[in-house]
Structure 1
């Protein structure tokens, strides 16, 4: 029946709420410049006394006002101080005719008013700032105003869409001005918003881009991005990545001595990750640490989240009374004010009382959940958790037919949200319902889906932890497979020799039988005996032939399995390199690792195709080139910047030629993406692979980029990529040429091996 201690049954619904909490603290934490500490504020005060009526003084005043605005606690005295400093900045900027200072002070005024709770007034101020910045052509300040306007809107429905729209406008302007720091901030914020919207995969891409931008400018305060990457990967079910980014966030925060509320957020998300990894003690430890930090800031919303998590883990550790007590104390001390927490508390209590079989105590909380179910729109993401509670009660009440509609609605939302955890538990519930309704085939199908999804989720999480052992195991297994294959080949040779001996024996026996027939009295009996011997021999021959057929099938399976193992080993190495890159700060090393990953992926595709194909001798190059190009586009994120055109014939190559050709193509595409279109230029890359006469083949990669520098000599360059392409061309016994023609054209010609065709393969 229902798995009461599953991570989905109690905790999953707070993922979205946790991310909203991250968003609420992000305006304070996302900035990587300005005044951050009390010591810096005191130094700014001293600096103001020395500065005259200058633009620099306006900038320092705005930074100081922002510092007081961002102090924790939202005290009226701090807001009043911030507003007073803002008035000084605005007056001085107007006096010295400093448009940027005027625009910045207008945005700061809107921020202060927004923080005080006057949304209509702050909206008007932002609109004035937008109009002024537009009129004066101040793109940076206009972007800042758009970003600030976005904070006025909530994190649901049309409000979230408007927030995203304002931040996308802001991002476009920062890219135009080359403001990399704010570009990184905008990308990070958009990643947050798209994750709330349910587009976690796209959010990951935005955050990856944000990390690249931050690292390019040497920005060190990456704990916020890592923290958001952690929670986004949790929502995708990628717990190994979630743990990696959570630990990176913790490490970065410790290095920077970050003791802000964000540190509590990091501990909270690490606890959530360990919760899903079923390491209950570590989850509890991190959540208690998050609670200790959050208590210093007296933030009710965040305290509610952390304490609810503590209650949840206590319940799963079967400390039910402690969990219920902690949760009820939290409600009395920090009464929930938002819909998310008002829903989450009865959700936890209902499921907890059902876990311990106290159904009467669960009943009032179920009524609250049903009210939320009726009041919330069907498309609301929270409905998925309400569906699960309703289904659980219907199963307990044996109302299996009534559960069918909720199961289908649950499935629809799980698929839309790409929530593998929710989907796997849904099929487990469906198995219970179909079993009770005597639908064995449907029940089995749902159980298989549940196991497949569960195995997929947890296998992903184990990969990182057992990678070293897996490499050792796979290598040893590969050696054993090769030895077994050799042994099978020897056995096949011996049996073929035995078959020849049997054939000769049969001929000799038949000859003797013919001679004896005319000479011996019992000719008939001997003839009958000879026929019996003949039948026995034929049966043995048939048996041997069938055995040989099975051996050949086993050999083919072993060859396919070897390709599968090689592909897996390459993927493991790629994953290890990816993990290693997260701990490197040296850009050259990171580039080298990414290049190595691309090269190994080029080889991995070949072994993957051989494993999946019935033809173990040759690779379909049309398929291979298409797959490799799509991978490179996804890897470098150039779909909008560079258009690729593919012209490929139906050509098949053996592994010995496909591997070096794939590596040449990998290097050529990488060089085109990296160097052909600098400064965000757009362009086209044309890839052609055609077969000519006499088994000759030609690979051509051309672009309309900046081309090679004048007097460039490929033989004199020390480039690893160029050396690789030259060496790989020699391995093909081919010829490589390159020239400028409205861009760079690289051409590799070689003769295709023809022995497979000659052999009739």
Structure 2
């Protein structure tokens, strides 16, 4: 089985995920496609949600860069390379690059560049990939950034492994990666690089070499007490199955699942379950195999993303329904799954076609079954996919023709299944092919060839199922089941102890209640005696209480009158804000009416800019009379409304995109008004001058960010990726109204203003101000 999960989130990716440009990334042995992060784990949808929450609360530091890079990786390596995903990844990469540049973090700059190259490769720009990686590695060497070089070489090695038939350069890169990490004392990353070497040999079909290297990796992990061994156990389990050592395959597969559960790192659970299901299937334990396939499907389906493993597991479950004489139910199940999670790659479509062929074959619709078999084969061959499942489709077609007594056609496909890359086939598959060829040659009278195939069948079968191995398989299963039962018994024992503890607490509580009742009876007697003594005192107190009540009533009346006055004041303030907003709207309407009589473009532009300024102030008063806070403005909604209004006002073609990153802060109205006017002027300038029609810049983006730097200071950033300021232009000496207003308003609120520009790189306006400062009201 070859499967997909989320694509790599670190340089230690085990297998790249299938996509149209990376067709060779599916491991040729049917290895389960999964990836490892730098810490040895995958990233799934739940982790992405946590990263997004962390991003909203993060400060502009290295941790924020790490979050941005992880989110960009998620979108880059998501199954099916859609333009929307790649655009999202590039937005995160731009933010990471800008922050790493400002913090002067060289390694992070190089890592961001590595991911940018991968994103372009994912988008189909493969021609320049090798040269760009080479340039990046050279830059890392010149700057002495060993970690950045290791990251770049690792991604370069994975890219070469997907495209280059010669693995010499791939292995050389991974060996250099290991040496670099060893020199900077990062043992986990070093061992991860050694693991990539083992995986590369596994790609080549060198099972013995790969197994030896992965066992060494396992030993190194254990020496440093690295807990997440389940990824390495999974690889060793796959090797055991491929070379026919089912005891080894089952042992490492069960260890993989146990370690995964112990570390609670279940991001790759579906992949592990599917691989363990394959071991059980080859071992002849069909029920166990189906149980694990069902577990795998549940987890994949919960993720909601299309991938090969999802459809492959569904196909195995459909086969089980067919075996139970329910082919129509199997077909319905597959169609519902594809409708729920549509395919988005050729290999997924091929797998679904293969599954439909099984159903129609069972329904005796042989014409449709043959068509789907051929469609699956065509899709696999179209991308030169040579992994276990793509090779097995020829076995399936051969079996189909054997059943139809079309022995010539059956012999053709079965012979190709046997002779095309036989080193990539599992022993169990080779065994089954030889058995069918024995039947084909017998039916055609080729008895010598039939005897030869039968001899091979028995050899492979005896290798898989000799008596000693069968006993070991049984013992391994018994040991695993025994450990599972012991864990259940321990859990039940703990629950029993908790129940007994609860009973003891209940008994203690009952005794305490009885003792309390006796004490209460004694206290009641004493209390009655004191009651008689206090009764006389209470009569005197009642007279005093009546006098106090009268005074309280007078005070309550005064409080009610004060609350009514406050409500009236709030109502009047809201009415004032409403009327101010209406007056500003009238001014805007008058300006609009005046513009109807003007034909000078400069005057019309001035009128429109004045309207925008009036609108920015009117929005302040609108938000105040619509909210419960009469003196503070929610900047999240206010900034969004100002920017949206400006975009509608200018109506750029092609469209200008805005990226807003506004912290949920509420500012005093006397501070929010100048901030709004500054945003109005800055965004207006960007819309007017940053994107001339002759310039083909894609996309056209304006970023507006308002974030706290500490408890007192906020930073306002407004920037674009336009043409920048003219050469020699000095903002401090400018006499334009917009820049004069920005400088004047910044000075009025006591802010620190910086205006930066690089030609062809846009303009950045940065304002740091005290969010608690009391300013004069804007007139």
TM-score, normalised with respect to structure 2? 0.49
Pair member with larger Rg: 2
TM-score, normalised with respect to structure 1? 0.50
